[in-house]
Amino acid sequence: MNVKSHLNRLPFARIAFRPMVSSLLRQKYAFTMLVLQIALTLAVISNGLFIVSQRLDILQRPSGIDEPNIFVLTSSGFTENFNPKASIQSDLAQLRQMPNIINAVATYSFPYSGSSDWDELQTVAGSDQNTVPAASYKLDEHGIDALGVSLIAGENFTPNEVLWQTESNSTFPSVVLITSSLATDLFNTVDWSSVVGRTLYINATHSAVVKGIVKQLQAPWSPEGLIENSVIYPRVIVRNSSRYLIRTQPTLLQHTIATTERYLSMSNQQRMIRKVETIETMRQQVYGPDIAAVTILLVVMTALTIIAAMGIAGLTSFNVLMRHKQIGIRRALGANKIDILNQFFTENIIQTTCGIFIGCILAVGLNIFLVSQYALPKLPLSYIISAIICLYVLGILATLKPALKAMNISPAAATRSQ
Amino acid sequence: MFNYYLALSLKSISHQKSLSLLISTTLGIGIAACMITYSLIHLMSKDPLPNKSERVYHIQLDNWDLNFAAIPPDLPPEEVTWRDAMNIVHAKQAKYQAAHAITWGMVTPAVKHVPPFLGIIRATQGEFFPMFEVPFLYGQGWHNYPANHVEYVAVLSKSTNQRIFGGINSVGQTLPMLGKLFTVVGVLEEWHPSPKFFDMSFGAFYQAEDLYVPLQIKAELELPHGGSSNCWETDLGDQYQAFLNSECVNFNLWIELASDQTKQQFEHYLQTYVEQQKVIGRFPKVTNNIMLNINQWLAHKEVVGSDIYLFFYLALLFLLVCLFNAASLMSTKFTAKNSEVALRRALGANQQVIFLQCLTETIILGCLGALIGLTLCIFGLEGIKYLYPNFSAFVYLDIPLMLITVGISILSSVLAGLLPSIKVCVLAPAGYLK
């Protein structure tokens, strides 16, 4: 008895569920539509959030190079007596002496460039062995400094290990650098110093000794998600068009681009300088579709949330309007303002809960479809839970304004005829 | 009578301004989301040669290493070798046939005020132009030359003609490039096939080439191998000729069948060709020739990215949410009119009249939704152009799409309003008249 009277004083204890449910059931159609809407919103938001977080993971993946301070340009010789090797050597020597430039290298492959060969590497010779695919970089001894990659074991190339070759020359160098991820895949160890000095075989035939391990260097493009596996050969390919990758001192990038471009075009009139691009802009292009996908998904989810909120708010305001007199009678019979507020919030919570039950089934269904169509991983429970919390908060916020209006209906409304 | 319904509907809509606007906006947003994503799919998978796409085929032959697949799991390479390109084109087994590859080289105009530039060049046989219905502004292309016949002629794109000759009719003029003197035989109209179905090695929406030259020029001047170039033999040697004689693939091979020719006939020819080559020791693998017509080829290359389909499915769900939302709002809208309807019923209006009245109102709301939807569509497509700069050349709202938008909007509005309208019609008037 005592306990019951105490409970009666708590606001929620006075919530009468039965009349509320029956009032909801009187508007079967509007109620069903709202529940279905909440269910679908839950399904889309939970899966959408999951896809967005997956894309953000890809976008935040570091490439291993000093991205903000690197730019590239192409030097294309076009006259009969243009000497590509002499041009590359003198250009690089000059560039490396410039005060704003940390280092420079001639290469067509770098992260986000989208062009490189993939080689099959193995630890035992012979064509019947297991192979690990790796993207190949061709760099001279300045390469790793120009990219800003750090060596975690072994040593860099020496100048006389570097082979200057034409495009079709396929002599393989005797030493290579590999990334730590590739070292793990090949030799099954994380003790980098033990890998230095080991022999690996390239495309089943050519052998080379691992001279050093770099911490991270992403592949220029990735056919099947093996983006961390790269091998660096001490080679420079000489052709009429060469691409220079230039790393500047921090914050001097834009300034250096202008001076370098001017200097190179003036220093040798037998070639033209073109395709001057920063790594950042190339990154934007490579990841453009992912950035677009994230943006579009976020816009759709925001719009969906707003639509759902408008639907809830619209229906509740209408209910307040229709039950004006009923609320007045309740107030006149002794219900206080909090009771009226509770009535609308509880109605909303009942609606949202119904929607969430159906929504969970839909969310899992949608995820099964996405898994089968897009090889997407399974939806973690945490995304459904966060979407559920979002929907409850959304429901409460959307009900707030009409419920406050209902709360302030005066008991005198009971006496007026509608 | 219709005018009366219209007047009543407009009055009712203006009476419940905010509710009506909410319904239309909801519909409009849902429809805009659907139409933006649908228009991307529609525009990206548009048939580039609608009147003959089923007769134009992309040819693939499997000349790869016995132990490896050119394209996993076991597909032939997408390009063919120089030797196969020459043999098949010169056998003339179809109406049109052309092999082509992308390359580049320095263009050095004789006029002083035009600086030399690096031209992106398509080296191709002449039947490329009629086969792909390439539009000419001046002059024309060339016929397929006999094997080893070198002719220094070039076709310029409209922008290249503008750049070098200031846009005049330059047919017959000479143009120094690649160290030789070429004669201009044709200038193209603006031509930006999207998707660029005939060579997607740089992506399906890559820009058009600056110049076109006969394929034999590529061998004669030893031009670089652009686009997708793949080899499986090792140690080819340094010679350019070695590449041409090798099993390296670099050339896109397309044919157009005559209207009375069947695909089987050409497949049979390819079969016998590969068998002949097997006799001289080529084609170690099991014969695996693939002929895909343009639309099959576009589908195979998945020109419409899976992301776009994902957006479309999500947009459909979004439209469904908007429909449910509009339906619940309409239900409240019509419930609010119960007493008015009861009065009209009591004064003699029958159920059909009330239903038509409600229908008129939902159609007007649908039209309003279409208007909002179209406006949002225009902004949305601008957003798409910003997010996908590659698509900006072909993203626009065409008339069929606009009509679909209006149609879907009215349909959704009627769907959303159907049940509430019926409910209003069947209600007994007596209770509301008190």
CA A398 – CA B336 distance, rounded (Å): 21
Tell me, what amino acid is at B70?
A
Q: What share of chain A is helix, strand, coil (3-state, %, to 5)?
A: 55, 20, 25
CA B13 – CA A214 distance, rounded (Å): 70
Q: What pLDDT was estimated at residue A417?
A: 58
CA A339 – CA A327 distance, rounded (Å): 10
Q: Long-range contacts of range A47-51, CB-CB < 8 Å, 24 or more positions apart? A: A47/A363, A47/A366, A47/A367, A47/A370, A47/A379, A47/A383, A48/A297, A48/A300, A48/A301, A48/B314, A49/A301, A49/A383, A49/A386, A49/A387, A50/A367, A50/A376, A50/A379, A50/A380, A50/A383, A51/A293, A51/A297, A51/A370, A51/A376, A51/B310
With CA atoms as reference, the chain A residue closest to B419 would be: A29
User: In this structure, are B316 and B274 located in the same domain?
Assistant: no
| B1 has a chain A CB within 8 A of its CB | no
pLDDT band, residue A5 (cuts 50/70/90): low
> Looking at the DSSP assignment, which residues form a beta bridge with residue A274?
A74
User: In this structure, are B184 and B223 located in the same domain?
Assistant: yes
Q: What pLDDT was estimated at residue A1?
A: 47
Interchain contact, B332 vs A44, CB within 8 Å: no
Q: Which residue has the higher pLDDT, A289 or A18?
A: A289
Of the candidates B118, B310, B317, the beta carbon closest to that of A76 is on B118
Q: Is pLDDT at B432 greater than 80 in this prediction? A: no
| A37 has a chain B CB within 8 A of its CB | yes
Using the 3D structure, point to which of B273, B300, B327 is the last residue of a domain: B300
With CA atoms as reference, the chain A residue closest to B231 would be: A117
pLDDT band, residue B187 (cuts 50/70/90): very high
**A418 contact residues in B (CB cutoff 8 A):** none
Of the candidates B106, B314, B336, the beta carbon closest to that of A300 is on B314
With CA atoms as reference, the chain A residue closest to B179 would be: A80
**B236 contact residues in A (CB cutoff 8 A):** 168, 170
Q: Residue A22 corresponds to which tokens in the numbers above?
A: 């029956």
Cα end-to-end distance, chain B, whole Å: 29
Please report, for residues A44, A45, A294, B322, B324, the alpha-carbon distance to residue B317 in angstroms, rounded to integers and kept in the order given: 8, 11, 18, 9, 11
Of the candidates A274, A292, A307, the beta carbon closest to that of B325 is on A307
User: In this structure, are B227 and B280 located in the same domain?
Assistant: yes
**A296 contact residues in B (CB cutoff 8 A):** 311, 387
**B325 contact residues in A (CB cutoff 8 A):** 33-34, 37, 307-308, 310-311
Sequence-ordered list of residues with C-beta below 8 angstroms from that of A156, at least 6 positions apart, any chain:
A141, A144, A177, A211, A212
pLDDT band, residue A7 (cuts 50/70/90): low
| B53 has a chain A CB within 8 A of its CB | no
| A282 has a chain B CB within 8 A of its CB | no
Q: Residue B144 corresponds to which tokens in the numbers above?
A: 């397929």
Q: Where are the alpha helices (DSSP H) in A268-287?
A: 279-286
Q: Residue B56 corresponds to which tokens in the numbers above?
A: 């134009």
Inter-chain CB pairs, A–B, below 8 Å: 131
CA B216 – CA B228 distance, rounded (Å): 19
**B71 contact residues in A (CB cutoff 8 A):** none
User: In this structure, are B261 and B331 located in the same domain?
Assistant: no
Assess contact for B21 and B326: CB atoms under 8 A.
no
Strand order in the sheet with A241-248: A101-106, A241-248, A70-77, A271-278
| B29 has a chain A CB within 8 A of its CB | yes
User: In this structure, are B163 and B231 located in the same domain?
Assistant: yes
CA B84 – CA B63 distance, rounded (Å): 10
User: In this structure, are B38 and B139 located in the same domain?
Assistant: no
| A51 has a chain B CB within 8 A of its CB | yes
Q: pTM for the full model?
A: 0.78
Predicted confidence (pLDDT) per residue in B330-385, tens digit: 888 887 777 788 888 888 888 888 888 888 888 888 999 999 999 999 898 888 88
**Mean pLDDT score, A224-244:** 84
**A203 contact residues in B (CB cutoff 8 A):** 234
Of the candidates B117, B314, B384, the beta carbon closest to that of A48 is on B314
User: In this structure, are B327 and B288 located in the same domain?
Assistant: no
Say which range, A381-395, B92-106, B392-406, has the weakest mean pLDDT.
Answer: B392-406
Of the candidates A127, A295, A303, the beta carbon closest to that of B387 is on A295
**A370 contact residues in B (CB cutoff 8 A):** 310
Strand-strand pairing, A230-237 and A206-214: unpaired
**Dihedral of the alpha carbons of B23, B29, B30, B35, in degrees to the nearest 10:** 140
Assess contact for A403 and A345: CB atoms under 8 A.
yes
CA A277 – CA A261 distance, rounded (Å): 11
Q: What pLDDT was estimated at residue A8?
A: 57
Q: Is pLDDT at B97 greater than 90 in this prediction? A: yes
B45 CA to centre of own chain: 4
Using the 3D structure, point to which of B243, B272, B300 is the last residue of a domain: B300
User: In this structure, are B133 and B270 located in the same domain?
Assistant: yes
Best mean pLDDT range from A305-314, A356-365, B199-208: A356-365
Reduced to 3 states (helix: H, G, I; strand: E, B; else coil), residue B230 is strand
**Most B CBs within 10 Å, among A37, A167, A170, A243, to test the B interface:** A37
| A394 has a chain B CB within 8 A of its CB | no
**A322 contact residues in B (CB cutoff 8 A):** 335-336
| A21 has a chain B CB within 8 A of its CB | no
With CA atoms as reference, the chain A residue closest to B228 would be: A115
**B19 contact residues in A (CB cutoff 8 A):** 314, 318
Q: Residue B325 corresponds to which tokens in the numbers above?
A: 């939302």
With CA atoms as reference, the chain B residue closest to A118 would be: B230
**Most A CBs within 10 Å, among B229, B321, B377, to test the A interface:** B321
Q: Is pLDDT at A388 greater than 90 in this prediction? A: yes
Predicted confidence (pLDDT) per residue in A256-283, tens digit: 888 888 888 888 777 888 888 898 888 8
Interchain contact, A314 vs B237, CB within 8 Å: no
Range of the domain at B182: 53-300
Predicted confidence (pLDDT) per residue in B3-35, tens digit: 877 887 788 777 778 888 888 998 999 999 888
Predicted confidence (pLDDT) per residue in A319-342, tens digit: 888 888 888 888 888 888 888 888
| A44 has a chain B CB within 8 A of its CB | yes
Taking the domains of chain A in order of start, what are their residue ranges? 2-59+289-415, 83-269
- Tell me the percentage of chain B whose pLDDT exceeds 90: 27
Q: What pLDDT was estimated at residue A358?
A: 94
| A373 has a chain B CB within 8 A of its CB | yes
Interchain contact, B328 vs A315, CB within 8 Å: yes
For tokens 């064509």, name the residue: A127
**A293 contact residues in B (CB cutoff 8 A):** 307, 310-311
CA A315 – CA B299 distance, rounded (Å): 45
CA A92 – CA A243 distance, rounded (Å): 11
Assess contact for B333 and B20: CB atoms under 8 A.
yes
User: In this structure, are B14 and B117 located in the same domain?
Assistant: no
With CA atoms as reference, the chain B residue closest to A41 would be: B321
User: In this structure, are B89 and B202 located in the same domain?
Assistant: yes
| A292 has a chain B CB within 8 A of its CB | yes
Using the 3D structure, point to which of B300, B325, B345 is the last residue of a domain: B300
pLDDT band, residue A10 (cuts 50/70/90): low
| A30 has a chain B CB within 8 A of its CB | yes
**Most B CBs within 10 Å, among A23, A24, A29, A310, to test the B interface:** A29
pLDDT band, residue B132 (cuts 50/70/90): very high
| A300 has a chain B CB within 8 A of its CB | yes
Which B residues, 209 through 268, put their C-beta within 8 Å of a C-beta on chain A? 234-239, 242-243
Predicted confidence (pLDDT) per residue in B110-127, tens digit: 887 888 888 899 999 999
pLDDT band, residue A123 (cuts 50/70/90): confident
Assess contact for B157 and B210: CB atoms under 8 A.
yes
Assess contact for B171 and B139: CB atoms under 8 A.
yes
Interchain contact, B311 vs A296, CB within 8 Å: yes
- CA distance to partner chain B, nearest, from residue A45 (Å): 10
> For chain B, how many structural domains are there in total?
2
Assess contact for A198 and A178: CB atoms under 8 A.
no
User: In this structure, are B94 and B187 located in the same domain?
Assistant: yes
| A43 has a chain B CB within 8 A of its CB | yes
User: In this structure, are B385 and B317 located in the same domain?
Assistant: yes
Q: Which residue has the higher pLDDT, B195 or B254?
A: B254
For tokens 């050095």, name the residue: B108
Of the candidates A291, A299, A308, the beta carbon closest to that of B321 is on A308
Interchain contact, B106 vs A78, CB within 8 Å: yes
Of the candidates A44, A295, A310, the beta carbon closest to that of B317 is on A44
Reduced to 3 states (helix: H, G, I; strand: E, B; else coil), residue A170 is coil
Asked whether this complex has an ipTM greater than 0.85, the answer is no
